[in-house]
Amino acid sequence: MCGINEVNVDAEAGTYNYTNIDYCDHLDHNISVHIAGRLSSDPNSPGLLHENAEIFNHTMGQLDPNMIFRVNRDSAGNIVELFTYACLGKLPPVVGKELFSFNLLSRSNWYADEKLKALVAEANASSSGHLDLEGLRFNNMTTYRDCHML
């Protein structure tokens, strides 16, 4: 499985939304989830976003935190990689186990596993090793290419 996020930001309104499109090799169709949220209004925590699933232009339940905790830029100041981490809480069917979402987002799809592992290690080091990375999946350049040939 590999996914793509199509993101729209309205800085003036302080909102954003995105569609996460997952390409699953065991299904004959893609899965899309629409997410909407609020940008941070706190200049001391600009990466603290709040979001949830959006259905028929309405978010479902309360907006949950999703933190942009690391941004890598190129020499011109453009974002190259963006790292997010969200505590999802205890969700069925994994009752009693805290679930997390960790994403490395980039406009490029040309990453080999070695580069992805190095980026994840850097991000984890920047959090003093607090990220829960159990069960982490990598979508490398080969996975991405194969997904989009379906």
> How many domains does the chain divide into?
1
Residue written as tokens 């453009």?
Answer: 78
| Statement: residue 78 has pLDDT above 50 | yes
Q: What is the mean pLDDT of residues 23-42?
A: 81
pLDDT digits (tens, 9 = 90+) for 113-128: 899 999 999 999 988 8
**DSSP codes of every residue in the chain:** -EEEEEEEEETTTTEEEEEEEEE-TTSSS-EEEEEEEE----TT-TTEEEEEEEETTEE-SSPEEEEEEEEEE-TTS-EEEEEEEEEEEE-TTSTTSEEEEEEEEES-----HHHHHHHHHHHHHHTTT----TT-----HHHHHHHTT-
Which has the higher per-residue pLDDT, 116 or 140? 116
Q: What is the mean pLDDT of residues 134-141?
A: 79
The model's confidence at residue 80, banded by pLDDT at 50, 70 and 90, is very high
| Statement: residue 96 has pLDDT above 80 | no
The model's confidence at residue 90, banded by pLDDT at 50, 70 and 90, is low
Rounded to the nearest integer, the mean pLDDT of the chain is: 84
| Statement: residue 27 has pLDDT above 50 | yes
Residues 106, 123: Cα–Cα separation, whole Å: 14
Q: Is 38 exposed, middle or buried (0-12, 13-18, 19+ CB in 10 A)?
A: middle
The CATH number given to whatever domain includes residue 83 is 2.40.128
**Domain coverage including residue 77:** 2-147
Q: What is the pTM of this model?
A: 0.79
Output the pLDDT for position 2. 67
